[in-house]
Chains A and B, each alone.
Chain A
Amino acid sequence: MGNQTYLLETNGLTKTYKGAKVVNGLSLQLEEGEIYGFLGPNGAGKTTTIRMLLGLIKPAKGRVTVFGKDLSKERITILKQIGSLVESPSYYPHLTGKDNLETLRKILQVPKSRIAEVLEMVRLTKMADRKVKEYSLGMKQRLGLAASLLGSPKLLILDEPTNGLDPAGMIYIRELIKQLPVKYGMTVLLSSHLLSEIDQVATKVGIIAKGEMIFQDQIDVLREKASRKLHVQMNDWETGQKVLSRHGIETARHDNWLTMPNQPDGKIAEIVKELVYSGLDIYRVSEEIASLEDIFLNLTKGEETL
């Protein structure tokens, strides 16, 4: 363990199913007030990891420390301050939305007024007295979110919370999640298989592939990884390539486009000048920025997602 105390920390977390390592030596650190985006393709081990964080399944190896306490020893104390929504939202279809929350409220022992509060937070007040079997998938998902907020948790663990929501619902939930650390001092761990989802809310990202953490840092660091490329279109690429290699710039060709790593502004000006002096006609100079989605695909390359 490092000097820094994390709100949630795992060390070498491993889970084996029938000899196959579903999660392998996963180390994850979550600081207070963060929104942690836990990203990975389907079947990468996200849900298994989350189940281990909640003590629902026991890791084969490794340990989970939450609020500075060992999960395997003080599970109930820890769970008092965790709200969670794992996979599909769980609910009792034959009960109303309000009664669904009431079954949990009795166990969590929070004041009754909290039900109206969380229903308001996810905009379900109007539907509160309807049976959940009449709810749309998006409403069920929002009810699940309301249930996770019921105990005013310090740490909120959400497994794919925007699944099944329409665009308006997605934006609303995203905004709601963004406000949680600011307004209520919550820390959020959010899993998704869509980078675009996480990109818009998370402050820190962890990317998991084949059960291993392959990237974990601030989201800005991930953005910097976005490799930029410079494309130059000209009439005679062969001469162009020679000129540029004399300046130590390796290029790749596609039609009459030459592609090279991005260069500082001064260098670009120099390249263009050289090419023009060599008698070449420059048609276009353009820059390509790889999207975060590309980086994600690159990082998880070779991963089979069907």
Chain B
Amino acid sequence: MMRALIQSDLMKVKKMVWVMMIAFPAGLVGLQAVNYSLRLDHLLGLHDDYWYFLLENVHIFWPTILVLTLTLIISLFASVEHETHTWTKLFSLPVNNGKIYLSKLAIILTVLIVSSVLFVIFSMILGLSLGFGSDLPLMAASQMSLYTFIAVLPFVFIQFWLSMGFTNQGIALTTGIANAVFIMYAVDMPTWLPWRWPLLLEGITTIAPDIFYGLGTGVVLTVISLIHLTRKDVTA
């Protein structure tokens, strides 16, 4: 049944989701391409390991971009159903209510993972074209991308809850965009605040407690939001 639901959900996905999945990481790496092309000598003089420094640079805005991506993607997934009140139809089908949400969640997480993988690939392409050599730091890049993904999980579930739970996407979008902006200024925050976690301040390849906080909070929030969403009355 899960397979049928996912296939059904995939049919409904708006093209914009695929565009954002590719365009956001491409745009961010493109920004660093401009940065490097403008002041290559200066940047190369700052760090001995060109590759590692490149990864640090592309990662600076990645948490913000990723939260922005997930906010918009989740909202698109939800508005497909909110738009013409298809929730009523969906929940009148002989399927477990939780599975309806789980199917959407599975696709959303996959889209974010693909976006993260693309981010690594684009970064590698940038490094190669800057002539950093063919000794690709795939391990470090994957760690950076994966740790960031895990650390933003709490935001995935907050957005999922807000977008699916309220017909008015304004609430979800405002919260999501505010979070994305807030992350940029979270460097000096206490370590228990989730905005700090995706910044990977202990180093982009270090397994820091922040990542586990992200995972734990993410799981707790999923459980709470799914319980709430599946139990509430379907009135629209």
Which A residues form the contact surface with B (CB < 8 A)?
51, 54-58, 76-77, 79-80, 82, 84, 86-95, 99, 102-104, 106-109, 147
Which B residues form the contact surface with A (CB < 8 A)?
1, 4-5, 7-8, 11-12, 14, 80, 83-89, 91-96, 233-235
Q: Are the CB atoms of B92 and A103 closer together than 8 Å?
A: no
Question: Among the listed A55, A82, A90, A106, which residue makes an inter-chain contact with B86, where contact means beta carbons less than 8 Å apart?
Answer: A90
B79: min CB distance to chain A, Å: 11
In angstroms, Cα B96 to Cα A99, docked, is 23
- Set of chain B residues within 8 Å of A93, measured between Cβ atoms: 83-84
In angstroms, Cα B86 to Cα A106, docked, is 16
Summarize A's interface: helix, strand, loop or mixed. loop
Q: Are the CB atoms of B11 and A103 closer together than 8 Å?
A: yes
Q: Which residue of A lies closest to B80 (CB)?
A: A92
- Set of chain B residues within 8 Å of A109, measured between Cβ atoms: 4
Q: Are the CB atoms of B93 and A57 closer together than 8 Å?
A: no
Question: Among the listed A57, A86, A102, A108, which residue makes an inter-chain contact with B11, where contact means beta carbons less than 8 Å apart?
Answer: A102
Q: Are the CB atoms of B88 and A92 closer together than 8 Å?
A: no
Q: Are the CB atoms of A92 and B84 closer together than 8 Å?
A: yes
In angstroms, Cα B92 to Cα A104, docked, is 11
Given known contacts A76-B96, A77-B94, A102-B11, is B86 in contact with A92 (CB within 8 Å)? yes
Given known contacts A56-B91, A86-B92, A92-B80, is B85 in contact with A104 (CB within 8 Å)? no
Most buried by B among A55, A92, A99, A109: A92
Shortest 9 CB-CB contacts between residues of A and residues of B:
A57-B233, A56-B234, A79-B94, A90-B86, A80-B94, A90-B89, A106-B8, A103-B8, A106-B4
| A-B contact sample (15 more), CB < 8 A, given A90-B88, A102-B8 | A51-B235, A54-B92, A57-B234, A57-B235, A84-B89, A86-B92, A88-B85, A89-B84, A90-B87, A90-B89, A92-B12, A95-B12, A107-B4, A109-B4, A147-B89
Question: Among the listed B7, B84, B96, which residue makes an inter-chain contact with A106, where contact means beta carbons less than 8 Å apart?
Answer: B7
- Set of chain B residues within 8 Å of A90, measured between Cβ atoms: 84-89
Q: Which residue of A lies closest to B15 (CB)?
A: A94
In angstroms, Cα B89 to Cα A107, docked, is 12
- Set of chain A residues within 8 Å of B11, measured between Cβ atoms: 95, 99, 102-103, 106
In angstroms, Cα B232 to Cα A58, docked, is 9
- Set of chain B residues within 8 Å of A82, measured between Cβ atoms: 92
In angstroms, Cα B86 to Cα A107, docked, is 14
Task: Name 9 A/B residue pairs within 8 A (Cβ), A-sorted.
Answer: A51-B88, A57-B235, A84-B92, A92-B80, A92-B84, A104-B93, A106-B4, A106-B8, A107-B4
Given known contacts A57-B233, A58-B233, is B92 in contact with A88 (CB within 8 Å)? no
Q: Which residue of B lies closest to A159 (CB)?
A: B88
In angstroms, Cα B83 to Cα A102, docked, is 19
Most buried by B among A56, A95, A102, A108: A56
Q: Which residue of A lies closest to B9 (CB)?
A: A103
In angstroms, Cα B5 to Cα A296, docked, is 44
In angstroms, Cα B233 to Cα A93, docked, is 25
A47: min CB distance to chain B, Å: 9
In angstroms, Cα B167 to Cα A222, docked, is 42
In angstroms, Cα B14 to Cα A77, docked, is 32
Q: Which residue of B lies closest to A88 (CB)?
A: B85
- Set of chain B residues within 8 Å of A80, measured between Cβ atoms: 94
- Set of chain A residues within 8 Å of B234, measured between Cβ atoms: 51, 56-57
Q: Which residue of B lies closest to A144 (CB)?
A: B89
- Set of chain A residues within 8 Å of B88, measured between Cβ atoms: 51, 56, 86-87, 90
In angstroms, Cα B2 to Cα A109, docked, is 12
In angstroms, Cα B12 to Cα A95, docked, is 7
Q: Which residue of A lies closest to B95 (CB)?
A: A107
Q: Are the CB atoms of A76 and B95 closer together than 8 Å?
A: yes
In angstroms, Cα B81 to Cα A92, docked, is 8
- Set of chain A residues within 8 Å of B94, measured between Cβ atoms: 76-77, 79-80, 107-108
- Set of chain B residues within 8 Å of A99, measured between Cβ atoms: 11
- Set of chain B residues within 8 Å of A102, measured between Cβ atoms: 8, 11
B115: min CB distance to chain A, Å: 22
- Set of chain B residues within 8 Å of A79, measured between Cβ atoms: 92-94
- Set of chain B residues within 8 Å of A107, measured between Cβ atoms: 1, 4-5, 8, 93-95
Q: Are the CB atoms of B92 and A56 closer together than 8 Å?
A: yes
In angstroms, Cα B86 to Cα A94, docked, is 13
In angstroms, Cα B89 to Cα A82, docked, is 12
- Set of chain B residues within 8 Å of A51, measured between Cβ atoms: 88, 233-235
In angstroms, Cα B8 to Cα A102, docked, is 8
Q: Are the CB atoms of A87 and B92 closer together than 8 Å?
A: no
Q: Are the CB atoms of B84 and A88 closer together than 8 Å?
A: yes
Given known contacts A56-B234, A92-B84, is B89 in contact with A104 (CB within 8 Å)? yes
Q: Which residue of B lies closest to A77 (CB)?
A: B94
